[in-house]
Each structure stands twice: as C-alpha cells, then as structure tokens.
Amino acid sequence: MLSQVLTVAQMRAAEQDLIAAGTSVEALMEKAGHGAGAYVHRISAGRSVAVLCGPGNNGGDGYVIARHLADRGVAVQVFAPLPPGTAAAAAARAAFGGTIHEGIPGDLPHGEVFVDCLFGSGLTRALPDDLHALLVRLAARHHRRVAVDLPSGVESDSGLPLNSALPTYDLTISLGAWKHAHFAMPAAAMMGALRLIDIGCGAVPGVPHVLARPYLRAPAADAHKYRRGLLAIVGGAMPGAALLAARAAAHAGAGYLRLIAGAEPDGIPADLVVVRADPGEALEDGRVAAVLIGPGLGRDEAARVRFASVVRCGLPTVVDADALMILHPAPGVGPGMIFTPHEGELAALERAYGLPGIGHKRERAVALAAASGAVIVAKGADSLIAGPDGRLLLAPRASSWLSVAGSGDVLAGIIASRLAVTRDPWTAAAEGLWLHGEAAARAGAAFSATGLADCVAPALGSLL
C-alpha cells in the first residue's frame, strides 16, 4: 500500500481513518516530522538548516523537523511569516523552543539546507507575493533544498504550479502516501529525489499505484523459441524504425522475431527473419504470439491496408506511432491491444473515439482505455498505464536522456516483446515500461536509441 497515489481528499480520508482508529493529528505529525527530520539531518551533515513554516499542518511538520534537528545539535532557524492556524501546528511550535523569525525579515541567512514547509496538500490558491518572495529568497541562499510533502505553490492533485518561478528541490519527502503531483509534470520535474514517510495509512481501494519493479523469470528449462514467444513486427514505408523496435524486442525476452517488411530494409541483422508477404497472410501462422505495428508504417493508403490486415488477425497487438494516427474505432480495434501514444497521438486517438480530451492526463488515459478496450501506455516525461477496467499505474520519473528520437520505437519493441512472452497486455505494458526506464538508467548520458536498445538485455537481467 506504500505504492498507492492519493488525491488530497483521499489523503484526508485516510488521515481521518487513522484518527478514528485511535491516533491523533499530533501523533501523525510527530511521526511524519521525525521521519522527514532524519532525512534532513543526514543531508545537513551537521551544518546549518533553515525551515520555512506555513500556517497549516505542513508548517506543523516543519516545527517537528526543527525540533528533531535541534535535539541532535544542528543549528536550525525557523522562519514563520504567519502564525500557526491549527491546534497541531501551534502545539508543534510550542514544543520547538528555538529561534523563530516572524513576519517577513529583510535580512536572510545563507546556509546549507533549506526545508520548505510553507504549504503542503492544503494549498488552494497561488502564493501571495510576499510569501512567494520569501520562499524564493530563502531557497536561493541555501545549497540544498528539501520540500516536505510537496514544493509550496504546487497543486497536489494536478501537478500544476500555481505560481511562476518556483524553486527547484534536491529532495521531496512525501508524507503518508504519494500524491499525484509527485509523478505529474510539470511539478515532478521540480522535486529532485523522492522519498516517502510511512505514517500507517491503510490501503485505499481503487486508487492508482506507482509502477513497481517487476520480477521476471528466465525461460523454462524445456523452453523453445515458439513457446518463449514469436513476435511479428509489421514494417511499412520507413524500415529503420521497425528495425530499431526489432533490436529492442530482441533483448526483451521474445524467442523469435519476424519482420513482415514493407519497404526493403537495409542492413538486416542476421538474427531477424524477414518475410516479404501481405501481413494478413504472414500472420496466419498460428505460432505468432504478438504483433507490433506502427514504427515506420507511414500514413498512406498502403499503411491503412496493412493495419486493417493486422486488425483482422485478432492477435494481441501493440499499436504505436503512425498506426495510432490512422486508427479508427472498428470491430477488433482495442480489446487485447496496447496503444502507446505520446501527447500528440493521445489527442488524435481522443478525436478518433469522440472523447473531449479534458482533465488530467491520467483521466484522459483512463477514458481512452474504457472507450477503446485497449491498455493505454501514455508515454512522455510522466508516463502512465491505464487499463480498460480503470486500473492506473504511474511510472517513476525516468532519465531525461530518453528525450531522443527513436526512444518510442524502442519502447514499443520492448512492450511487444513482453506481450509475446506474457500474452497479457497489462503485464506486458507494466514490464515493458519499467524495462525501458531501467535500460535508460543503464545507458547513462547522451545515448542514441540504438544504444538504449542495447541496454535492454542487461536491464532485463537485473530483473531476474
């Protein structure tokens, strides 16, 4: 349940459940503040800390953190532009007993760690100018910046900053449960490393979860290439993208790769079987476990004909890139399939399915999954997976070096390979998205899409 992602309302309800079970807000604040304080203590390594405390319970956490640090001999100063407005925050402030700068001071110290406890999940509107300026000035005067629960100024449920020019952080410590802003852009980009403090919240049914590291198995002792999974990749007008997807797929577990080529590819690797036939005929082979169509397909009439042939086969299929742009709702399109749209392709699919395309990205993906029957991998800097049954997985932030041409072809190849292995769209999407992020972590900096594809096998090896 520590992987669950809650809205503000769900977090408040979870807190109320804990209180109804016999704990108090003060006790929860102690637990949260000591957990966060231990991280800040480690980062400060004994050097000075400034804690900015707001009027609500996020500020209350700040007073607990300040006391935790002072008890351990750290030089800590509290900045409290507003008095506490809750009983728990007032009690935490009274228990601190150290230096508190009230109002908006003119002179501010330089120090090692700045801890932002101005506002958390209770933020309802943009920060007023004086508080915004104090936040920015204090952040700028410290080498390391820690946000408690959320960076102040960020809306928890949407991940939208309510002010421009907010500070960025090295670490964000979430309290009790993850919030949507921890995974949604643009807020997620401000937060640095993410950590979670457990305060004992129970499982909330039906909420999204963070995509977890999968555990994969090596092929069975008596495996053969077909049982491991035959993946057919349907190419099109531009063969390079399909070859790139094939290169990634080859390292993601499928036992056999077959390229049903459109245009004549150059430099075919020796381990890729190329078939020059109509996709409809080539997919009649009953041993094909999964199909990938889209990378390099083109969007012309020939592409539409090839896509229609694939749909008629009714095999588990990953639909990516150009195929998403020419897709129209039709019998057989969607159920058992995985769609892997980026933002532009998501909007095109919404138009195709007559969806309004409003709301958070997660809500749009869930609506598209429900309308189409497909598993939706809505990729981008904040990737997520939505199922037609309403399930939702939010991916942890991956390497920003993934913003390179061809990285989507690699993702499609990986997911299709996992679909051939697992025969289950949801599992394949989850395993594939994780492998893509893990391969990127292993590829280091400034990698090419080919370099990324070549890191998929070691990434998979780390999951066995």
Ligand X SMILES: NC(=O)C1=CN([C@@H]2O[C@H](COP(=O)(O)OP(=O)(O)OC[C@H]3O[C@@H](n4cnc5c(N)ncnc54)[C@H](O)[C@@H]3O)[C@@H](O)[C@H]2O)[C@@H](O)CC1
Binding-site residues for AMP sit at 379-383, 408
Burial of 50 (0-12, 13-18, 19+ CB in 10 A): buried
Considering only residues 394-423, where is the footprint of ligand X by CB under 6 A? none
- CA triplet 216, 222, 226: central angle to 5 degrees? 75
CB of 150 to ligand X, least distance (A): 6
Any contact of residue 28 with ligand X (CB under 6 A)?
A: yes
Considering only residues 77-116, where is the footprint of ligand X by CB under 6 A? 85-86
Q: Amino acid identity, residue 427?
A: T
Rounded to an integer, what distance in angstroms lies between the CA atom of residue 21 and that of residue 38?
26
Residue 11 contact, options ligand X, K ion, none, Cβ 5-8 Å cut-off depending on partner type: ligand X
Could you give the residue ranges of the DSSP H alpha helices within 194-300?
225-228, 239-250, 279-282
> Which of the ranges 152-160, 195-203, 357-365, 399-407 carries the binding residues for K ion, by CB under 5 A?
152-160
CB of 127 to K ion, least distance (A): 11
Any contact of residue 152 with K ion (CB under 5 A)?
A: yes
Crossing angle (nearest 10°) for helices 25-44 and 57-71 = 50
Cβ atoms within 10 Å, residue 73: 9
Considering only residues 301-360, where is the footprint of ligand X by CB under 6 A? none
Q: Which residues contact 250 (CB under 8 A, 6 or more apart)?
A: 257, 269, 271, 272, 417
Residue 116 contact, options ligand X, K ion, none, Cβ 5-8 Å cut-off depending on partner type: K ion
Nearer to ligand X, 34 or 304 (CB): 34
Residue 187 three-state SS: helix
Nearer to ligand X, 134 or 333 (CB): 134
C-alpha dihedral over 306, 312, 318, 320, to 10 degrees? 40
Annotated binding site for (6S)-NADPHX: 57-61, 120-126, 149, 241, 296, 342, 409
Nearer to K ion, 59 or 298 (CB): 59
Site string for K ion, 85-124 (x = CB under 5 A): -------------------------------x---x----
CB of 33 to K ion, least distance (A): 12
For 309, phi then psi, to 5°, come to: -65, -40
Cβ atoms 228, 253 nearer than 8 A: yes
Cα-Cα-Cα-Cα dihedral sign, residues 152, 157, 161, 162: negative
Nearer to K ion, 116 or 438 (CB): 116
Considering only residues 122-151, where is the footprint of ligand X by CB under 6 A? 122-128, 148-149
Residues that bind K ion (CB under 5 A): 116, 120, 148, 152
Residues that bind ligand X (CB under 6 A): 11, 15, 28-29, 32, 54-61, 85-86, 119-128, 148-149, 175-176, 199
